[in-house]
Chains A and B, each alone.
Chain A
Amino acid sequence: MAKWGMVIDLDKCTGCQACTTACAMENNRLPGENWQDVLFYHEGTYPNVKLMWFPRPCMHCENPSCVSVCPTKATYKDPDGGFVLMDYNKCIGCKYCQVACPYGVRFYVDEKAVVQPDIRGVFPSETDRQWDPPYKGPQDDPSRGIGIQPHGVVSKCTFCYHKVSKAPKGVADLDEDIPELKEYVPACVRVCAPKARFFGDLDQPNSNVNKMIADKRGVRLKDETGNKPQVYYLSGGATASVPSLRSMSDSDKG
């Protein structure tokens, strides 16, 4: 049984939002309601301002607090790959999970549209789905939260379950550079232009992701919550290659 995990190298991330766009296309997300986002913010005040950014997908925790609080067991930990998935058929839209998630990566979209005008009016749906986009992903699995989000439920990143779960058994790393594996790579990883994202099996000691976590001291966010994320972040070591971090690491040396 695999335990899929992601490694994001913050020193390589350029904040280009290709991952966000790929996620939106892959999963038919409403504009602005992407399961994966790069957070941009400013440090300091003009004229001493730094633009900072931080990519944030679902952490697919080993011990997810969203699963603990779900009153209907609609969100669950998939035992085969370690995915945290949503069952749209069971969700009652109570949003407990949104409150419980320390990372803010759960989405309830039945409120005012983030991006105006509301595209749901442009492509109205005649079913219980939020909208009916002209292009739809071929996969649709409400019991795993894959497909266009229905009304009245919470949705979340699936780690591209519909791709990853079809990967050959026993493969350690899903690397988009290997032609026979690239179809199984999550959308955000596959499009990452600076190759800041890596995806692999955390249960296989020799996988590339495990090596990177060990060699570059991978960090899990908010580890004090006990959620044990399966997404690791890398940063530090030598001088940061990201301009926004470079001066920080320089000042660290002093």
Chain B
Amino acid sequence: MVSGCVDCGRCALACPTEALSVPGFDITPTTSGMISIDCWRVPPRHSPSGAMRVPCLGGLSTAVLAELTAEAEGRPVALLDRGFCARCQAGGSKHPDAHPAETVIDAIQRLLEDCGVAPTTWPRLVALPLPATRMVKGMGEPLLESRVSRRALFTGQALRTSQPASGPRAAPPAQTTGLGRQRLLAALQRLSAAEQPLPARLFPSLTAGSDCADHGICASACPTGALTGYADDTARGLHFDAAACIACDLCTRLCPEQALTLDGSGETATERTPQRLTRHAIRTCPECGAEHSNPEPVCPACRRDRDFARSAFLAFGRQPPASSPQPDAGEAGS
């Protein structure tokens, strides 16, 4: 972290792959009394006894709030609004009209409502104003001048790239993707009445149209691993796990064929267990012998070369031979 960081934890909240984590948000509720969450910038002596303290209320995730509600067993969870967020350097001053935790509270309240949890136990903001002069300073200085300039960043990257890689690459860290999502689902399941399914809004519906050409761009871009590619002996395609999907819409936006449709509103019924979304039979390219799953006979590389050569012959005013009485299967598939 650069020295300009104020540990508010909102980067971790926004990160779809959960690659970032900020310490201070793993909190466990007190055993008795009201459950209240306070900000680090409130002096400890002003916090109610037993209050849990986090770096910033805006960094609390729905998973943490759902777990707290489940642990609280009926006691309300109060997020203390001290009224000085607008003057805090942790981004509050950028959005003075809303409390930083408002979006997350809205989301968790909607989910709890869908789960049939009584409104009295929902997490909520509780106003407990404190003069802004009491706000703790020194949670990090906005040392803008010490940040890496854009030019220096790229120059450093270019130098690193030009060096030959030495030694084996370090192993990637253990997989963390989807942990927060699993925690949210588990906590909501505990809160839900027995036998009642979780709200449909948690399981986005993704459908693939017939235009899908099995590029696999969507699967390679999916930040949570909800959409992955599979391959067996005869076919390959996409594998979708609605429970891991966060409806970020990246797959539908990146699809070059615009073949994917996503509905995150919960209105479309969907399978909640992992499913195979598409299936493309593997075939052998008649030109180069490569195995591919293109809808037409030739593989994508040969198709590109063929289209190039065909366009070149067209440049001489020559149409492709029209002598073939049968329709060209390759053309029909493209």
Contacts and interface: CB of A to CB of B under 8 A. Distances in A.
Q: How large is the interface on A (under 10, 10 to 19, 20 to 34, 35 or more residues)?
A: 35 or more
B312 A233 contact: yes
Interface string B289-324: 000000000100010111011111101111111111
A10 B321 CA distance: 17
A103 to B, nearest CB: 7
A167 interface: no
Contacts of A152: 161
A104 B308 CA distance: 9
Given A40-B287, A48-B326, A104-B308, A252 B318 contact: yes
Contact of A50 (B308, B317, B321, B327): B321
A216 to B, nearest CB: 11
Interface stretch (A181-189, A192-200, A205-213, A243-251): A243-251
A44 to B, nearest CB: 4
A222 B311 contact: yes
Contacts of B302: 41
A42 interface: yes
Given A233-B312, A247-B321, A41 B328 contact: no
A128 interface: yes
Contact of B316 (A41, A222, A235, A251): A235
Given A54-B312, A103-B308, A43 B320 contact: yes
Interface in A1-52: 10, 39-45, 48, 50, 52
B194 interface: no
Contact of A39 (B158, B306, B321): B306
B175 to A, nearest CB: 25
B155 to A, nearest CB: 11
Contact of A247 (B310, B312, B316, B323): B323
A92 interface: yes
B286 interface: yes
B325 interface: yes
A54 B162 contact: no
A20 to B, nearest CB: 13
B323 A41 contact: no
Given A89-B162, A104-B304, A249-B318, A45 B309 contact: no
A48 B324 contact: yes
B324 to A, nearest CB: 4
B323 A42 contact: no
Contacts of A247: 321, 323
B168 interface: no
A221 interface: yes
A103 B54 CA distance: 57
Given A92-B161, A251-B323, A221 B328 contact: no
A77 interface: no
Nearest to B304: A104
Given A48-B323, A92-B158, A128 B164 contact: yes
B164 to A, nearest CB: 5
B252 to A, nearest CB: 22
A11 to B, nearest CB: 10
B118 interface: no
B161 A39 contact: no
Nearest to A244: B321
Given A39-B305, A39-B306, A45 B320 contact: no
A52 B309 CA distance: 9
B244 to A, nearest CB: 29
A139 interface: no
A236 B309 CA distance: 16
A41 B309 contact: yes
Interface string B156-189: 0010011010000000000000000000000000
B315 A45 contact: no
B158 A42 contact: no
Contacts of B322: 251
Given A41-B302, A45-B328, A92-B161, A219 B323 contact: no
B313 A41 contact: no
B308 A44 contact: no
B329 interface: yes
A152 B163 CA distance: 11
Interface string A43-76: 1110010101110100000000000000010000
> Of residues B162, B302, B321, B325, which shows the largest number of chain A Cβ atoms within 10 Å of its Cβ?
B321
Contacts of B325: 48
Interface string B131-165: 00000000000000000000000000010011010
Contact of B329 (A45, A235, A248): A45
Interface of A: 10, 39-45, 48, 50, 52-54, 56, 72, 89, 92-93, 103-104, 128, 151-152, 219, 221-223, 233, 235-236, 245, 247-249, 251-252
Q: Which 8 A-B pairs have the closest CB atoms?
A: A54-B309, A44-B324, A41-B306, A48-B324, A39-B305, A235-B316, A39-B309, A92-B161
13 contacts: A39-B308, A41-B309, A41-B310, A42-B287, A54-B309, A104-B304, A151-B164, A219-B315, A233-B316, A235-B318, A245-B318, A247-B323, A248-B319
